[in-house]
Amino acid sequence: AVERTLSIIKPDAVADNVIGKIYTRFEDAGLKVVAAKMMLLSEEKAGGFYAEHKERPFFSELVEFMTSGPVLVQVLEGEGAIAQNRDIMGATNPADAAPGTIRADFAKEVSRNAVHGSDSAASAAREISYFFSESEIFSR
Ligand code: CMP
């Protein structure tokens, strides 16, 4: 089925000037960018996005990193988009990511891992509406 998933190009990848290379990975995998915005996340916005990780030891480091510079947030649409995006991102820890995946090629450590992608249909729905209204998404 055609799905939508929420993707974030994180501050490390924006700073490394690889937005275009990462978009090419999405496009080559058949994922369409149907919404996008660059933004500097506030502590509140980043903390709310990662609310499920609030009790994790790395939570404050995660929020600090995600607010350290601009991010590019996008909605990707395509057949099986949620799993497809996870496949091309590779494992959360770039040390475990398969060769040729975005994290293997553009990330250095688990705490600065270049991209985020929704992990389920429920997360995708929550995460998309956290950043975009329906009128900002251009299905095509
Ligand atoms: P992401 O998919 O955006 O979702 C939660 C993030 O927490 C994850 O990517 C990692 O960047 C980060 N994370 C996971 N485990 C650790 C860790 N052990 N130390 C620091 N950050 C982590």
pLDDT in tens, 11-36: 999 999 999 999 999 999 999 999 99
Report the SS3 class of residue 111.
Answer: coil
**117 CA closest ligand 1 atom index:** 2
Q: For the segment 86-109, what is each residue's pLDDT rounded down to a tens digit?
A: 999 999 999 999 999 999 999 999
**Rounded mean pLDDT, 57-61:** 98
Looking at the predicted structure, is the pLDDT value of residue 70 above 80? yes
Query: Ligand 1 centre and the CA of 49: distance in Å?
Result: 13
Q: How confident is the model at residue 140 (pLDDT cuts 50, 70, 90)?
A: confident
Task: Answer for the pair 136, 35: CB distance below 8 angstroms, yes or no.
Answer: yes
Task: Answer for the pair 6, 122: CB distance below 8 angstroms, yes or no.
Answer: no
Looking at ligand 1, which residue's alpha carbon is closest to its atom 2?
A: 116
Q: Which residue has the higher pLDDT, 140 or 101?
A: 101
**Rounded mean pLDDT, 29-52:** 98
Query: Ligand 1 centre and the CA of 106: distance in Å?
Result: 15
Task: Answer for the pair 129, 135: CB distance below 8 angstroms, yes or no.
Answer: no
Looking at the predicted structure, is the pLDDT value of residue 3 above 90? yes
